[in-house]
Structure 1
Amino acid sequence: MTDSQESPSFRLAYVPGVTPAKWVRIWNERRPDIPLALLQVPVGEAPDVLRAGEADAGLLRLPVDRTFFSAIPLYTEATVVVVPKDHVITAAEEVTLADLADEVLFHPLDDVFAWDSPPGEPAFERPATTPDAIELVAANVGLLLVPQSLARLYHRKDLTYRTVTDAPQSGVALSWPEEATTDLVEDFIGIVRGRTVNSTRGRTAQKDEKDQKDRKDQKDRKDQKDRKDQKKPGTAKATGGKPTGGKSTSGKPSGSRSAGSGGGRGRAGTGSGKPAKRGKPRRRS
């Protein structure tokens, strides 16, 4: 009979710019029995992937729908402006949004920032993706604001970036459907939170360990009870198999002596152990 059940695995989705390598390495060390499958998804599609059950958890950019997802914020990235290497902005180490007010700034459709009012001059069109916007920056058409990880991910030799000190920032969180908080999800939560190996073992391993401890405790309690029983007086274990304080094997009390042995009492009322003296016989008349 063949087993049609699939082997267990943990599927982790992640968006561009997020690097899960460290957590994947720790997972493989601690849970070698459960393969971890990585799935890179566009930032706008990541929530739908989790809703459809195509991944168990995901490293997503905030915000997420907290009515459906649980989320643990992990870190917040600095925001940078991507510019050509010969741009005047490169003369400074950091810039502000005011410094970019007269620049054409691209806001791609997959922009990770929730702008109330996008800064800079609007471009003639919105690029479909961040990589498309990077290509336009390289063509010296405009500039682009992105989290620092995306600037590194789409790095080009003819481009560079500078930190924008007062721009909105992008946060990254571990997220999963709240109603699908499985044991494997709990294990991965422990890893990203930096828990030790003892507190992040699989639930099965923890249960086995607890069962072993319970069995050991039961054995210790039984051994302790046996030792107490051996120390109680009047028990066969305490006297080497001979009962005390009861009758002897002959049926007589253990502390009595038999009659006529010389150690018993004489006639009643003599007050000693010797027989009473007999009087002289009467003389016949």
Structure 2
Amino acid sequence: MTDMQVNPSFRLAYVPGVTPGKWARVWVERLPDVPLDLVAVPSEEGERTVREGSADAGLIRLPVDKDVLSAIPLYTETTVVVFPKDHWLAAAEEVTLDDLAEDVVFHPLDDTLGWAADALPGRPAIERPATTADAIELVAANVGVLLVPQSLARLHHRRDLTYRPVVEAPQSQVALSWPQERTTDLVEEFIGIVRGRTVNSSRGRGAGQASAAPAAQPKKAVAPRKPQQQKAGGQQRAGGQKAGGQKPGARGGAAAARRGKPKRRS
């Protein structure tokens, strides 16, 4: 690993549909003195951005070139089909690829599902939209439908559109990726964050900060209470009763009993 001072900040690229906020918040808590720069990049440029060093690491979609980049898969997204709300597919809870046989299915140039040209279901469009956003506009115009990861359907949400999960469709997998030759301490720190390591188990800089923190001051010992002193006539018991079983004032009570009850006045 390289020295920490070589890279005083950390640049993290992320592609559309990926939300790095939860990991960024942990970073700020653990390394408040190391700026985290979030760099939004188009889906098709995610791998190139990381490979060329424009970012220290990236939350991008697989596959990547494993000869150059390391990658830790994080999660797999559900694939959905986006269509107008008045489309007949809205009556279904989930959709099969055969259900799309009569629909025009758009295949944007920034496709994130890796469709082969001859494997895309439905009828092909006259030309491929340049971006997913362009394809969404065509879907809203009731020209066809679009298959995308669910996060992109949410990202491009419109009131006049809806979506349903598609069974047996290819899925997109999101991963943390970085150049194999540049596995720095800061990269290790971010790996620990996405893997859910605690600050004490992290291998990066945060662990060093945790170990350097001053130890908690031990609590002051409380002096034990002194045992009650013994009195003449026996050991003192709870409630002030002596070993003989008599309570304080018991003698007076016995003497009064011997004197008898007071006579009633006539």
| TM-score tier (shorter) | 0.7 to 0.9
Which amino acid letter does the alignment assign opposite residue 132 of structure 1? D
Find the partner of 1:160 among 159, 162, 172.
Answer: 162
Opposite residue 175 of structure 1, the aligned amino acid is: S
* Corresponding residue of 1:134: 136
State the AA in 2 paired with 1:96. Answer: T
Alpha-carbon separation, structure 1, partners of 2:151 and 2:10: 25
Residue 201 of structure 1 deviates from its aligned partner by 6.4
Deviations 1:84-126 (A, max 9, x none): 0000000011010011111100000000112231111000110
Structure 1: distance between partners of 2:124 and 2:165: 21
Shift of 1:205: 5.6
Q: CA deviation at 1:14?
A: 0.2
Q: SS of the counterpart of 1:197?
A: coil
**Alignment pair present for 1:111 and 2:83:** no
Distance 2:103 2:11 in 1: 42
Aligned-residue sequence identity (percent) comes to: 70
Change (3 A) 1:18 1:164: same
Runs (4 or more) in structure 1 with deviation over 6 Å come to none
Distance apart, 1:200 and its partner CA: 2.4
Q: Deviation digits for residues 64-91 of structure 1, max 9, x if unmatched?
A: 1111100000000000000000000000
Matched letter for residue 128 of structure 1: A
Change (3 A) 1:204 1:92: closer
C-alpha change, 1:205 and 1:83, in structure 2 (3 Å) is closer
**How far 1:46 moved relative to its partner?**
1.3
Q: Aligned to 1:132, what secondary structure does the other structure show?
A: helix
Asked if structure 2 preserves the Cα contact closer than 8 Å seen for 1:80 and 1:164, the reply is: yes
Aligned AA (1:93) = E
2:39 equivalent to 1:66: no
Counterpart check, 1:29 vs 2:63: no
- C-alpha distance 21-83 of structure 1, shift in aligned 2 (>3 A): same
Could you tell me which runs of 5 or more consecutive residues in structure 2 were left unpaired when the two chains were aligned: 216-266
Q: Does the CA-based 8 Å contact 2:61-2:174 persist in structure 1?
A: yes
Q: What is the rounded CA distance, in whole Å, between the counterparts of 1:76 and 1:17 in structure 2?
A: 12
RMSD, aligned α-carbons: 2.1
Match of 2:25, as an amino acid? R
CA distance in 2, matches of 1:31, 1:205: 10
1:175 paired residue among 154, 170, 177: 177
Q: TM-score, normalised by structure 1?
A: 0.69
Structure with larger RCO (C-alpha < 8 A, sep 6+)? 2
Cα distance in 2 for residues equivalent to 1:204 and 1:20: 19
The one-letter code of the counterpart of 1:121 is: R
Provide closer, same or farther for how the CA distance between residues 204 and 102 of structure 1 changes in structure 2, counting only shifts above 3 A.
closer
CA distance in 2, matches of 1:201, 1:123: 50
Determine if contact 1:31/1:202 at 8 Å carries over to the other structure.
no
Corresponding residue SS for 1:128:
coil
5+ long unaligned stretches in structure 1: 214-285
User: 1:60 corresponds to which letter in structure 2?
Assistant: I
Q: Count residues in correspondence.
A: 208
Matches of 2:6 and 2:170, distance apart in 1? 44
Q: Which of structures 1 and 2 has the bigger CA Rg?
A: 1
Shift of 1:207: 8.6
3-state secondary structure, aligned to 1:80: strand
Aligned counterparts of 2:192 and 2:142: Cα–Cα separation in 1: 45
DSSP-derived class of the 2:26 partner: helix
Instruction: Give the match for residue 218 of structure 1.
Output: none
Q: One-letter code of the match for 2:75?
A: Y
User: Is it true that 1:146 corresponds to 2:148 in the alignment?
Assistant: yes
3-state SS of 1:94 partner: coil
TM-score scaled by length of structure 2: 0.74
Give the equivalent residue in structure 1 for 2:20. 20
Structure 1 partner of 2:97: 97
Compared with structure 1, are the counterparts of its residues 82 and 204 closer, same or farther at alpha carbon in structure 2 (3 Å cutoff)? closer
CA contact (8 A) 2:27 2:190 kept: yes
